[in-house]
Amino acid sequence: MSLELVATSELCSSYNGAEVLHEVSFRVQQGDYLGIVGPNGSGKSTLVKTLLGLNRPTHGTVTLFGLPQDQFGDWQKIGYLPQRLKFFNPNFPATVEELVRLGLLAGKGFPKRRAKGDDAAVEETLAIMGITDIRKRLIGELSGGQQQRALLARAIVGKPELLIMDEPTTALDPETRERFYELLQLLNRERNTTVILVTHDTWSIGKYATRFLYIDKRVVFDGTFDQFCQSEEMTGFFGEHAQHIICHRH
């Protein structure tokens, strides 16, 4: 029986008095590759932040690795790649290697110091992400694709069991985006890393994700992409034409 890594129950969240999430319930099992899609303002990013404890729900519960979210402390088990860094400063003077090393902090107690095995983990991750040759370059000097790979390297260097990403490919060109998704698939298949990916890119979700969660403040659909395409309920929700366009691209 596979382990349940994430479970939400009747999750509600508000922003400036307006309800952003309404009774959102879903579960994520180990090894899942869950794509979360929905229109702008549907609460996707709020949902991700609520899972990570960055946003407090007004109602409902989040369970991570079997523990209530506020009791969960094994943050090294979760890698997070945000949509865009809130205060990202292109002049931040960290090298790619320094940035990736920050991903190892979650598992460390006080004081956080370099541990045996850190160097090997960083080396391995730089190689997997194909950024070994730019390890000494400042992140501000890199292209959008290189920056995103460095940030993904930061998220996976601690070998998390669960990887949560919020629209990570927004700034990438189609070719780089494809390579990015292939990397995620590799992690999902070879490391059994569970992936939760928020995206607008429905086509890619259909191609790579094993599950598809469509939210619009509430859960509209939860199933596989094929089920989505065949769902009469979804035809009613989207209209035949829109559903056809989404599924045809697949």
Partner 1 sequence: MTITEILSYGFIQRALVAGSLIAVLCAVLGVFLVLRRLSLIGDGLAHVTFGSVAIALFLRINPAVVTVAAIPLVLLSSFGILKLTDKARIYGDAAIGIVSSLGIACGVLLASVAGGFNIDLFSYLFGNILAIGTGDLVLALVLFAVVLLAVFFFYYDLVAITFDEELARSSGIRTKTINTVLVLLTALTVVLAMKLVGIMLISALLILPAVTALQVAASFRATILVAALLAVGSVVVGIFGSFILNLPTGASIVMVNFVVFMLVFSGKKLRQAR
Q: What is the 8-class DSSP label of residue 89?
A: -
Quick note: the x/- pattern for partner 1 over 171-210, rule CB under 8 A, is ----------------------------------------
Q: What is the DSSP letter of 95?
A: B
Q: CA dihedral in degrees (138, 143, 146, 147; nearest 10)?
A: 60
Instruction: Closer to partner 1 by CB, 87 or 120: give it.
Output: 87
Among 25, 30, 61, 95, binds partner 1 (CB under 8 A): 95
Question: Is 110 among the residues that bind partner 1 (CB under 8 A)?
Answer: yes
Is-contact 171 163, C-beta < 8 A? Answer: no
Q: Assess 67 for contact with partner 1 (CB under 8 A).
A: no
Please tell me whether residue 231 binds partner 1 under the rule CB under 8 A: no
> The dihedral of CA 134, 162, 44, 92: what is its sign?
negative
- Closer to partner 1 by Cβ: residue 29 or 55: 55
Task: Report the residue from 16, 71, 86, 174 that binds partner 1 according to the rule CB under 8 A.
Answer: 86
Q: How far is the CB of 241 from partner 1 (least distance, A)?
A: 39
Strands, sheet with 33-37, edge to edge from the N-terminal-most edge strand: 78-81, 162-166, 194-198, 33-37, 211-216, 218-223
Q: Torsion angle, CA of 72/73/75/80, rounded to 10 degrees?
A: 40
H or E stretch including 5? strand 4-15
Restricted to residues 113-142, the positions that interact with partner 1 (CB under 8 A) are 113, 136, 138
Cβ nearer to partner 1, comparing 54 with 67? 54
Among 16, 18, 91, 241, binds partner 1 (CB under 8 A): 91
Question: Based on CB atoms, which residue is closest to partner 1, 40 or 91?
Answer: 91
Stretch that binds partner 1, among 37-45, 63-71, 109-117, 176-184 (CB under 8 A): 109-117
Partnered with residue 94 across adjacent β-strands are none
204: its two tokens: 């890619």
Which has the closest alpha carbon to 57: 76, 163, 48, 40?
A: 48
Site for partner 1 in 25-54 (CB under 8 A): 52-54
Q: Which residues contact 56 (CB under 8 A, 6 or more apart)?
A: 13, 50
Cβ atoms of 207 and 174 within 8 Å: the answer is: no
Question: Candidates 12-20, 70-78, 170-178, 211-219 — which segment interacts with partner 1 by CB under 8 A?
Answer: 70-78
Report if residue 99 touches partner 1, rule: CB under 8 A. Answer: yes
Which residues contribute to the site for partner 1 (CB under 8 A)? 52-54, 73, 75-76, 78, 80, 82, 85-89, 91-95, 98-99, 102-103, 105-106, 108, 110-113, 136, 138
